[in-house]
Chains A and B, each alone.
Chain A
Amino acid sequence: DIVMTQSPDSLAVSLGERATIKCKSSQTVLYNSNNKNYLAWYQQKPGQPPKLLIYWASTRESGVPDRFSGSGSGTDFTLTISSLQAEDVAVYYCHQYYNTPLTFGGGTKVEIK
């Protein structure tokens, strides 16, 4: 199984500042035949289901603000919130869909400093 490891477990960032979340997979999620990374990022607010933010590692889902961006390839990925807003307080998960069983990272809780 592919293990997804996120860091940090939590971080506190001032409003308007950058938040950076890392995700590392135990094996590559880059599919050579189409050169796509099978990696997504989700945002989950308390009492709500997760919301898809990013897929193919860097493609923003429709309607997601452009302050959210994803980068990386192979085994190392990053979710960046360029200017943290109050409504971004949530837990963020990375997710690989390269192989079954599909797996999630442990989550990163983002709070306001």
Chain B
Amino acid sequence: EVQLVESGGGVVRPGGSLRLSCVGSGFTFDDHAMSWVRQAPGKGLEWVSGISWSGDSTGYADSVKGRFTIARDNAKNSLYLQMNSLRAEDTAFYSCARGAFAMVRGATDFWGQGTLVTVSS
């Protein structure tokens, strides 16, 4: 059974940092690109960042470019999102999502349940 389990969410002050993690199981992790997608409570989906199977290729939404960094460790079946200079508008549920293919330019075919990040003073 495919599983993606996120962790690392919490409450942080504006300007602060947080690191999210996601562990995948039930599939060959390094066969797939991975992404982070967020959803503010009651709002729509926003793709945040994606990384290719090898980690050589990454992409970011304009809203987080220069502040967030995506990384992966295939030996640990893990995906990470380092979030710096956090803003109130970054408040959302952050979900780890599996790409259907090895490269970032592919549909996501499985999503985790998400972890809540709240940016508030």
Contacts and interface: CB of A to CB of B under 8 A. Distances in A.
Contacts of A55: 100, 107, 109
Contacts of B60: 100-101
A102 B45 CA distance: 11
A97 B45 contact: no
Interface in A59-113: 61, 91, 93, 95, 97-107
Contact of B107 (A52, A100, A107): A52
Contacts, number: 60
Contact of A107 (B44, B59, B105, B106): B44
A100 B52 CA distance: 12
Interface in B99-121: 100, 104-114
A49 to B, nearest CB: 4
Contacts of B107: 40, 52, 55, 95, 97
Q: For chain A, what secondary structure do more than half of its interface residues adopt (helix, strand, loop), or is it mixed?
A: loop
Contacts of A50: 45, 111
A102 B109 contact: no
A101 to B, nearest CB: 5
Interface residues of B, number: 23
Contact of B47 (A38, A44, A101, A106): A101
B24 interface: no
B105 A97 contact: yes
B95 interface: yes
A104 B61 contact: no
Which of B62, B109, B113 has the most chain A CB atoms closer than 10 A to its own CB? B109
Interface string B17-53: 0000000000000000001000000001111001000
Given A49-B113, A102-B50, 4 more contacts: A52-B107, A91-B44, A95-B108, A104-B44
Q: Which 9 A-B pairs have the closest CB atoms?
A: A100-B59, A49-B111, A40-B107, A55-B107, A102-B47, A104-B45, A101-B61, A107-B44, A52-B109
Interface of B: 35, 44-47, 50, 59-62, 95, 100, 104-114
Interface of A: 1, 38, 40, 42, 44, 49-52, 55, 61, 91, 93, 95, 97-107
